[in-house]
Structures are given as C-alpha cells and as structure tokens.
Chains A and B, each alone.
Chain A
Amino acid sequence: MMHDAALTVLFYVLGAGAILCALAVVNARRLLRAALALMFVLLASAGLYLLLGAEFLAGIQVLVYVGGIVILIVFAVMLTSAADLLEDHPSPGRMLAGAVASISFLVFAGGVFARLELAAPAPGARPPADASAIGRRLLDFGSEGYVLPFELLSLLLLAAVIGGIAVARKTPPRDQPFTSGGDAPGEVDIVLPRSQRDEPEEPRA
C-alpha cells in the first residue's frame, strides 16, 4: 500500500513537473531556456520510466537524451544565434492554429484512450525486465530478437555522424584541402551574440 501510494504521488508530481516544463519548452522566448526546460522534461520522463520499472531505459534516457542530445541542442543554439536570443512571439493566428491542433489532438486522443481496453496481463507473472534481459533481446537473432534493427540503428548512427560532419564542416581552402576540419587557424569561429561582439554599440537614445 505504501508502495502504491508513493507511486501515485510520484506519478502526479513528475507528470505535473513534466507538463509544466514542456509548456516552458514551447513558450520560452529564449531558446536556451527552452533547451533547459527540455532537459527537465526528459529528466522527469526518466523518473517516470523508473516508476514503470524500466531502470535501464531511464539510464539510457539520461545518458543519451540529457547528456547528449540536449547538450548538442544547446551547442546548436549557441552556434546559430548570432542575433539576440529572444525569439519573437508567434503570430496570434499561428498560436491559435497550433492550440486548436494540439488541443483537439489531446481531446481526440483522450477520447480514444478512455475507450481503450487493454488485455489484462497475467497477474503475478512479472519477472523484472532488467538490463540483461534487454541486452539479450537486442542481440538475439531469433524470430523475436532485435539484432537486425539494432545493427541497422548502428549503421544509422554512423551515417548520421558522418553526414553531420560532412554537412557542417567548412569547406577547406583550395590550397590545403586536407585540413583537420576545424583545427587550422581561421577555421574555428564561434558566432557571438550581437551584444558580445567587438562592434561598437549603437548609442542609446
């Protein structure tokens, strides 16, 4: 009973925190804050995974999502916001369209969920799906294994890494085509916010 009560409390606390942070994600005017809020949403999700008994997944969530993806996003924000970080508010029409779309999605999805009846799992038969179970399943090449998608995924990641480098690297100068892709002098540049550049500021009225 204690366990169930704690579960209920944690669910609602984490869920509310996730939703609030998610709202902050889509409404923050500073992208960096949005990214930060995203990090908290993902952390809350990791907590929710723990509640669902998926510890390994929670760890992966934090490791990859928070430690990798969010950091990457923050990097991108820093590299691409030469202008000031404030983003204009979207136009009212667009906000309305977005709100209508998302709220109706929520309503419809809620309607579907409310009428959804899941097949009840066999009671008691619940050995923990721990990290080793997931690992076995991932590398199992039987009919229920995921080794093929897993390998495909590794290929995808490799392609993404190479593609990302190919897209984002600067074209090396013609006279030295084999530069280190960022190490040579003049190749690294961080685009600073306008307020941090050396340009003289416009006199304020």
Chain B
Amino acid sequence: MLEFLAAHKPGHVEWLLLSATLFAIGLYGVLTRRNAVGILISVELMLNSAALNFVVFNRFVAPAACDGQITAIFVIAVAAAEVVVGMAIFVALFRHRGTIDVNRMNTMKD
C-alpha cells in the first residue's frame, strides 16, 4: 500500500492535468455564467490554476529557483487589482442599471 502510493508520486503530468482541469472548469464558468460577479469568480478560478501551473513548473523544472513562485505572487497581486476594479465597476453598474446580468450589458450591440 505504502509502496504503491510512494511509487505513484504525482509527476508533472498529474500536476499539470490538475491545474488544466481547474482551468477548464473556470473556463466553463466564464462561458456559462450570466452574472458578472459569477464570471469574475470563474476568472479567479482560472487565474488560480495558472498560478498553480507556474509553481508546478517551478518545482519540476528549476526547483532551486523561485521565479515561478514570484510569478504566482504577481498573478495573485494582479488578480487582487482586477477584483478591486471589477467589483467597483459592478457596484457602479448595478447602481445605475439595477442589474449585472451580462446578457443585458449589450448596449454596444445596437
């Protein structure tokens, strides 16, 4: 049992697949959500998986360096900035239009 588990230590393919799965799920959410905040949440999911990817590559390609981790930190910080601005926009939008349904935010269409 232990030997089996130890022998099947996750390699880079498993790690990358995990992050790809998270990314795909986030993608699904981005494409299907109607609420803008919901989309933003899904985007966070995707960003998180991207950060995870960086760390995974850091670990499996150059474990002595920490560039991947630093990039992940940047990702997190950018995500924070994105959320701040996004939320401010949504709140302002909601105050003006009473909805943040992206299906109804198509005024550029006409």
Please report A residues at the B interface, Cβ cutoff 8 Å.
Answer: 1-2, 4-5, 7-9, 11-12, 15, 18-19, 22-23, 25-26, 31, 34-35, 38, 41-42, 45, 48-49, 52-54, 56-57, 60-61, 64-65, 68-69, 72-73, 75-77, 79-80, 82-83, 87-88, 90, 94-95, 97-99, 101-103, 105-106, 109-110, 113-114, 116, 118-119, 121-122, 125-127, 129, 133-134, 137-138, 146, 149, 153, 156-157, 159-161, 163-168, 170, 191
Q: Tell me the number of A-to-B contacts counted with CB atoms below 8 Å.
A: 258
Instruction: Name the residue on A nearest B83 (C-beta).
Output: A69
B28, A26: Cβ atoms closer than 8 Å: yes
| Smallest CB gap from B68: residue in A | A54
Q: Which B residues form the contact surface with A (CB < 8 A)?
A: 2-3, 5-6, 8-10, 12-18, 20-35, 37-38, 40-42, 44-45, 48, 51-52, 55-67, 69-70, 72-74, 76-85, 87-92, 94-95, 98-100
Query: Which residues of B sit under 8 angstroms from A98, Cβ to Cβ?
Result: 27-32
Point out the residue from B32, B67, B80, B94 that lies within 8 Å of A137, measured CB to CB: B67
Known contacts A48-B52, A121-B62, A164-B84; 13 additional CB pairs below 8 A are A2-B6, A9-B5, A22-B21, A56-B69, A64-B76, A94-B31, A98-B32, A105-B24, A109-B23, A118-B60, A129-B69, A137-B66, A156-B81
